Amino acid sequence: MKPIIYHTGITSPPEIHSSQFEVLHTPTISVEFNNHHTPQDISEFLKSKPVAIIMSKNAVSGLKNWLGKYNLAMDFFGVTPFWTVGERTHQHLLDELRLESWHPELMTGEGIIQSLVEKHHSRILLISAHEPRQSFIEGLNSAGIHFFHFPVYTTRILSNPEFADQFNDHENNILVCTSPSTTDGIMKSLSIPGLADLKTKLVSIGPTTSSAIRERNGVVYHESRKQKISSLYSEIIKLEFCHEQS
């Protein structure tokens, strides 16, 4: 029987030209773009000259939605420097809002905090989901970094009955996790307390997602070298082909 790749992210998986696998799109999260801050709220905080930090691709899309709602352009933020968590977010910001950003070498929340401390930045505009990762917030507080939370979207953890019905926990199968939230969705959909007992291989899009897998007692079989879905699937195909040949 052909190995199955379960793709748990919102966006459909890329079309792969390989007869090695069956790919099933089984999303375990959904996203709603919503916000409650006015331009006045944000402009008041911008006077303190913070660094604006965008935590994810969804935060980029949520920011674009907010700008459209108030008929604003990116020049609203003036000379505020923008940082992003990861290459995917960096590229999405460039594609969607034509804005260059900086991202730390360690492409995680921890990497952001480390870089803020090293560069002596103590105030940030945090553009993220309504519920950012608690460990990140605790890290900011511990480092003495003041943040204004600017939430622009909500992540919903799904209990996906189709995924639960289709899932076959086998060592040849692969679960592709595209964000930390997808790991929670896997657990909710499969009604399991953690990832420790899964035989299916866990593949991660990047360092932040890998950390989430380990926090839930899972083992990361492979982490994408580039934070791009297409690259991740190319790596999976090569990895499994080499595995078959050995």
The predicted-structure confidence for 221-244, as pLDDT tens digits, reads as follows: 999 988 788 889 989 888 875 555
Query: What is the pLDDT, as a whole number, of residue 103?
Result: 80
* 158 DSSP assignment: -
Question: Same topology for domains 4-11+19-28+164-245 and 32-156, yes or no?
Answer: yes
Tens-digit pLDDT profile for residues 68-77:
999 999 999 9
Report how far residue 125's alpha carbon sits from residue 151's, in angstroms, rounded to the nearest whole number: 10
Q: Which amino acid is at 180?
A: P
128-144 burial code (b ≥16 CB/10 A, e <16): bbeebbeebbebbeeee
Domains of the chain, residue spans: 4-11+19-28+164-245, 32-156
Contact 162, 26 (CB under 8 A): yes
Report how far residue 25's alpha carbon sits from residue 43's, in angstroms, rounded to the nearest whole number: 41
CATH fold of the domain at 32-156: Rossmann fold (3.40.50)
**Which of 3.40.50.2300, 3.30.2350.10, 3.40.50.10090, 3.90.226.10 would CATH assign to domain 4-11+19-28+164-245?**
3.40.50.10090
Say which range, 26-35, 85-94, 142-151, 183-192, has the weakest mean pLDDT. Answer: 85-94
- pTM tops 0.85: no
Report how far residue 210's alpha carbon sits from residue 224's, in angstroms, rounded to the nearest whole number: 10
